[in-house]
Amino acid sequence: MRSLQKNLCDNETGQVLYETMFVWNEFLTRGIRNHLQNTLWTVALVYGFFKQATLSVAGRDLTLTLIARRSRHYAGTRYLKRGVNDEGRVANDVETEQIVFEDASEGFPTKISSVVQNRGSIPLFWSQETSRLNLKPDIILSKKDQNYEATRLHFENLVKRYGNPIIILNLIKTEEKKPRESILRAEFANAIDYINKDLPEENRLKFLHWDLHKHSRSKATSALSFLGKVAAYALTLTGFFYCQISPAVTQELCIEWPSAE
């Protein structure tokens, strides 16, 4: 329910752990937790994905773990929940963490690294009507948030959770015969420009747009190659979490270690 970095570097325990956005039974267990003042009698439920595999790279044995945690805020089925709500929560918000664990030889510290990325619905007020006859229902863009306050709240929440810089990768279509996704793309770009005007240069949102559908159909373009470059760019700016734990677990060394170094 929390990233590796938070688990190792924050001293928060008990009740606080259940109050994260990824514990779906936080409300249902609140009464008994408050009464007992502990979490010994409850199990936190996380809605998401888990996969673990053992790899060997250059003679080193590694364990690769992927964890996806879905937020309990503003969640719902694909067409019924879209965009952002008044509190800045976006539909289908998912945090994905990749953990690489090296089981070191006896007497040597265990090395662990972690990278976290976040995905969610485009943080604007928009919706789609479900229809059995129309496989691509129209996108309805609301104009009720002229100053993009909900969009601003969303990114302020991301800064509190992850810190700066915030890098936005938008893969929706740019050109369409009948404008649908492209309407959102243009409005999202306007929102980012509007929000960035009030932010200091070093904290401005970095907006990357790449039409994945268009380039995936082109044999001359390797989508994975481009996305790999984007990932390298993001890691250079944000760094990744790296930790060494002694064999006796008597000392934990937590380092914010930028990949550029």
Answer yes or no: do 89 and 151 share one domain.
Answer: yes
* 42 and 171 housed in the same domain: no
- 192 shares a domain with 78: yes
Domain limits at 84? 47-256
Whether 77 maps to a domain, the answer reads: yes
- Residue 34: inside a domain, yes or no? yes
**Is 151 exposed, middle or buried, given 0-12, 13-18 or 19+ CB atoms closer than 10 A?**
buried
Q: How far apart are CA 20 and CA 24, in angstroms?
A: 9
Residue 17 burial (10 A CB sphere; 0-12, 13-18, 19+): middle
Tokens at residue 247, please?
Answer: 């064999």
Task: List the strands of the sheet with 48-57, edge to edge.
Answer: 48-57, 60-70, 94-102, 110-119, 240-245, 252-257
- Does 83 lie in the same domain as 72? yes
167/245 same-domain check: yes
Sequence-separated (6 or more) residues with CB below 8 Å from residue 194 = 147, 148
171 and 101 assigned to the same domain = yes
With respect to residue 239, please indicate whether it lies within any of the assigned structural domains. Answer: yes
Residue 261 lies in a domain: no
Q: Is residue 128 part of a domain?
A: yes
Does residue 228 form part of some domain? Answer: yes
Q: Please indicate, yes or no, if residue 15 is contained in any of the structural domains.
A: yes
pLDDT tens-digit profile, the chain (261 residues): 999 998 888 877 777 788 889 999 999 999 999 999 888 899 999 999 999 999 998 888 899 999 999 999 998 887 788 999 999 999 999 999 999 998 777 777 888 999 999 999 999 998 887 766 777 778 888 878 889 999 999 999 999 999 999 999 998 887 777 777 888 888 999 999 999 999 999 999 999 988 887 777 777 668 888 889 999 999 999 999 998 887 665 344 444 444 433
Is residue 197 assigned to a domain?
Answer: yes
Tally of domains in the chain: 2
- pTM for the predicted model, two decimal places: 0.85
My answer on whether 99 and 202 are in the same domain is: yes
Q: In this structure, are 72 and 175 located in the same domain? A: yes
Q: From 46, 62, 82, give the residue that closes a domain.
A: 46
Q: How many CB atoms lie within 10 A of CB 166?
A: 19
